[in-house]
Amino acid sequence: MKMWLYLSIILLQGLVHAQQGSSGTRPCDEGQRRQFDFWVGSWDLEWPAGPSGRAGFGRNNVQKMWGNCIIQENFSAGESMPLRGMSVSAYIPQTGQWKQTWVDNHGGYLDFVGEAKDGQMILSREAEVNGKKIVQRMVWKNIKPMELDWSWEKSDDGGRTWQVLWPIHYTRHRRQ
């Protein structure tokens, strides 16, 4: 039994060292894996009234987890609408892209792929809505330390033109 414990400890130490690399940093603390760092934090959300509703307010808490390799989002539309959801995002070095999976309290499951480019993060997906193929995307833009803009958009023409369906302004939550 002692031999098994000793071998397990040596194996675990080797795995930790291999994951951290020779510099002592974790692999998810460097390079493109930090492209979503701007989004990490606690946010107050505000969006304008749309054709089918009123202006809204919500909260989004975004954190890094699992050795900083995963970005986890917890979204609440507050009293504005009964939407609650979460996503997990990860950078995939083999493709040079981010992947995100979203699930919500309405049974929604959406999968996105994309990248940071020209000061924006854009994740998109192809979908079929009412028998018609469309492209959906999320765009993080106007990114500043204390605020940013996010929009949910769709394209009916394969991505040549985009219609903003839900713009949200993010402001970092300030503790009282």
pLDDT surpasses 70 at 119? yes
Residues 19-26, mean pLDDT to the nearest whole number: 53
Q: In whole angstroms, give the CA distance from residue 82 to residue 141.
A: 26
pLDDT per position as a tens digit, 60-70: 999 999 999 99
Fold of 35-172: Lipocalin (2.40.128)
Q: How many residues are there in the chain? A: 176
- Look at the pTM and tell me if it is higher than 0.85: no
More confident residue, 83 or 15: 83
41-55, 89-103, 138-152: the lowest-pLDDT one: 41-55
DSSP assigned state of 82:
S
Residue 52, pLDDT score: 66
Residue 13, pLDDT score: 47
Residues 148-166, mean pLDDT to the nearest whole number: 96
Q: Where are the domains of the chain?
A: 1-31, 35-172
Residue 11, pLDDT score: 43
14-23, 44-53, 126-135: the lowest-pLDDT one: 14-23
Class of residue 173 by CB neighbours under 10 A (exposed 0-12, middle 13-18, buried 19+): middle
DSSP assigned state of 6:
H
The per-residue DSSP string of 12-69 comes to HHHHHHHHH-TTS--GGGSGGGGTTGGG-EEEEEEE---TTS--EEEEEEEEEETTTT
pLDDT surpasses 50 at 5? no
> What percent of the chain is modeled with pLDDT above 70?
83
pLDDT surpasses 70 at 71? yes
More confident residue, 170 or 24: 170
| Beta-bridge partner residues of 59 | 44, 76
pLDDT surpasses 90 at 26? no
Q: In whole angstroms, give the CA distance from residue 102 to residue 66.
A: 18
Residues 48-53, mean pLDDT to the nearest whole number: 75
Residue 25, pLDDT score: 64
DSSP assigned state of 119:
T
